[in-house]
Structure 1
Amino acid sequence: MDKSLLRQQVLESLAQDLLQTEQAALAAHETATHEENIAENKYDTLGLEAAYLATGQARRVTAIRQAITHWRQFHPRPYDARQGIQLGALVCLADADGALQHVFLGPAGGSMKLLCGGQPVQVISSEAPLGRALLGKCEGDEVLVQVGSGQMGYEVVGVA
């Protein structure tokens, strides 16, 4: 799997999310400011609700733009076994049943699932519980992640 290709797919997905979120923010803003939505009494809250929605969408637009900036500046480096898993690592994990999962550790804001070479790849940040648990690990190491009241265990099968 090509990490540069994965990075490009993340950027394309974020660009799509940005476009959709900007359109949603604009629609919510137009609804909030439309003259027909001026409150006529204290129970008429459509304009107020649309204003809250527009504010939330605007914050989401800002977050996606920041994520795009982080991902544009991010250039994954080759895996260095002396340092263990670091940001930019493409990791293959096996769970207790032997099922394989591919994880790409990237900067914040890119949490998503992608397909690369026909294989599903989960993109996570080092802020995610699994991302934090992977940092510094090497092939053959076991990784434990708290999930609710239990723990999930994985073995690091491969790192690129």
Structure 2
Amino acid sequence: MDKFLLQQQVLEQLAQDLLQIEQAVRTAHETATHEENIAENKYDTLGLEAAYLACGQARRAEAIRQALASWRQFRPLPYDTSKGIQLGALVRLVDADDQQQQLFLGPAGGSMKLVSGTELVQVISSQAPLARAMLGKCEGDEVSIQVGSLRQQFEVLRVD
């Protein structure tokens, strides 16, 4: 599986997400500043709510811009067994129920699903608990994380 192509898919998805959120920011800003939404009494809060929404969406747009910058500068390296799993690794895990998953460890903007051929690849950021638990591990190693009161365990099947 080509990490460069996966990186390109991530960049395309982030660019598309940025376009959508920028449109949402413009719409919320227009709603917040439209003359019909000027408050006539303390219960008339549509303009204020739209302003809060525009502010939140603007923060999200900035987070996407930062993720885009991180992914543009990112250069995934080939897997080095002496270092174990590092940022840029493509990892196949299996859980106790024999369910496999393919993960691509990226610098930011995780929780994105990509398709490579017939395989589904989950992008996770280096800040995700599972990514932190995998760092330094090698093929055949166990990885475990605590999710609420549940402990999840995985085996590293393959690393590219």
Task: State the TM-score bracket (shorter-chain normalisation).
Answer: over 0.9
Deviation (angstroms), 1:12: 0.3
Structure 1 unaligned runs (5+)? none
**How does 1:26-41 map onto structure 2 within 5 Å?**
26-41=26-41
Partner residue in 1 for 2:89:
89
The residue correspondences of 1:72-111 to structure 2 (distance < 5 A) are 72-111=72-111
Whether the 8 Å contact between 1:112 and 1:124 is mirrored in structure 2 is: yes
How many residues are treated as equivalent by the alignment? 160
TM-score under structure 1 normalisation? 0.98
Contact 1:10–1:110 (8 Å) recurs in 2 = no
Matched with 1:2 is: 2
Structure 2: any 5+ residue segments left out of the alignment?
none
User: Percent of aligned pairs with the same residue?
Assistant: 73
Larger CA deviation: 60-69 vs 104-113: 104-113
Q: Deviation at 1:105?
A: 0.3
Q: Distance in 1 between matches of 2:153 and 2:15?
A: 34
Q: For residue 45 of structure 1, what is the aligned residue in structure 2? A: 45
SS of equivalent to 1:60: helix
- Counterparts of 1:115-154 in structure 2 under 5 Å? 115-154=115-154
State the Cα RMSD in Å. Answer: 0.6
1 CA distance for matches of 2:126 and 2:48? Answer: 37
1:90, 1:103 within 8 Å by CA — same for their partners in 2? Answer: yes
Task: For residues 62-89 of structure 1, give each alpha carbon's deviation from its aligned partner in whole angstroms, at most 9, with x where no partner exists.
Answer: 0000000000000111000000000000
Separation in 1 of the partners of 2:72 and 2:29? 29
Q: For residues 108 and 83 of structure 2, what CA distance do their matches in structure 1 show?
A: 21
Q: What amino acid is the match of 1:103?
A: L
Contact conserved, 1:67 with 1:110, CA < 8 A, in 2? Answer: no
